[in-house]
Structure 1
């Protein structure tokens, strides 16, 4: 767990010709199964047939980023945003790539743009917090994670991440409370490994204070 950007952004589907829709959907299904190379072939074919298919660019960017091909992913998300400057998911996903590359300021700019368009995007708010945390601004990160859990009170990752920010701020007891909240949410959702990670943070803090 920890400082990886949330990737729970809906994959977009296309609405052009039947063949294009089927090919994009086929690529999406391959991505969901982890067959990103196969997905890339499908999205490449769609783009070759229709260079204006925004959803093919977006989903190809997602596949590239999943393969660690970050420069290609950035290029695809940027094209998607040129085709639709209001595409929140493209800003969030491009921000995720920048975050992976350690380009925190660019990530912050993309997340802020996404939130300007949709202030209720909990994923963007959480990831903005991660970018602020990584750039050495735990106070701003705390605010971001708080906004995220206000949008989605069952967002375990945002509670966990706020716990990390609180630790950086020296707020040990509040951090423990957030780790416990994250663990409770994850336990309820059946995410046992995530819950164990949060509980391990609590155990480590308690042992360190003995």
Structure 2
């Protein structure tokens, strides 16, 4: 989760430097004393348990946060990430779908639902999700890259190559030379592969 954690909303970044045992103790005491922050304690507890690798416990806390506030997008998102990481990609798809129902413009839900759909073999659904997400944010190079993989899996090699090319172009525009070079190499290898 550490890669995903760095991309969570800024109010959650303090978790990286958290004294985990003390935080767990504090959250447990707050929960036992009926202290209420809405679904905040459950959400933060989920982040703490995620950080220490207890994904199942994190999922339980996110689920409790959703019992308190059934429209808590961050709880759905975090639970979806955790579900995907433990292999429950169908559960992750359901969480991301709920986010999209609540806020159809939440671009990260389309991206992560696309990833989860790819993992369960629904590459056509993944392409649809990446396309919707790219309609909202057409400058997402990583989404173009993943869309190219999903398109390739469904046999649409031409569109996959166009998506790769667009990903490379965006990486270059964004100053990400490392990923730009990786994309250039992949495109070259694909073109060589097509010739032989």
TM-score > 0.5 by shorter chain: yes
Alpha-carbon offset, residue 180 of structure 1: 2.0
Q: 139, 157, 169: which is aligned to 2:124?
A: 139
Match of 1:18 in 2: none
Superposed CA RMSD in Å reads: 2.5
Conserved? CA contact 1:43–1:59, under 8 Å: no
Match of 1:35 in 2: 17
Match of 1:48 in 2: 29
Shifted more, 196-205 versus 122-131: the winner is 196-205
Q: Sort the Cα spacing of 1:201 and 1:5 in 2 relative to 1 into closer, same or farther, 3 A.
A: farther
What is the SS of the residue equivalent to 2:53? coil
Q: Sort the Cα spacing of 1:194 and 1:69 in 2 relative to 1 into closer, same or farther, 3 A.
A: farther
Q: Sort the Cα spacing of 1:10 and 1:180 in 2 relative to 1 into closer, same or farther, 3 A.
A: same
Alpha-carbon offset, residue 47 of structure 1: 5.2
Alpha-carbon offset, residue 94 of structure 1: 0.6
Alpha-carbon offset, residue 159 of structure 1: 0.9
Match of 2:94 in 1: 109
Aligned length: 189
Conserved? CA contact 2:46–2:60, under 8 Å: yes
Conserved? CA contact 2:144–2:164, under 8 Å: yes
Residue segments in structure 2 that go unaligned for 5+ positions in a row:
none
Distance 2:162 2:5 in 1: 22
Structure possessing the higher relative contact order (Cα contacts under 8 Å, 6 or more residues apart): 1
Conserved? CA contact 1:30–1:39, under 8 Å: no
Distance 1:200 1:69 in 2: 38
Conserved? CA contact 2:27–2:45, under 8 Å: no
Shifted more, 69-78 versus 41-50: the winner is 41-50
Q: Sort the Cα spacing of 1:84 and 1:29 in 2 relative to 1 into closer, same or farther, 3 A.
A: same
What is the SS of the residue equivalent to 1:49? helix
TM-score where L is the length of structure 2: 0.83
Q: 89, 110, 113: which is aligned to 2:74?
A: 89
CA offsets 1:158-185 (integer angstroms, 9 cap, x no match): 1111101111011112112111222222
Shifted more, 115-124 versus 153-162: the winner is 153-162
Distance 1:5 1:132 in 2: 18
Residue segments in structure 1 that go unaligned for 5+ positions in a row:
13-27
CA offsets 1:75-117 (integer angstroms, 9 cap, x no match): 1211211121100111111111111112121111111111100
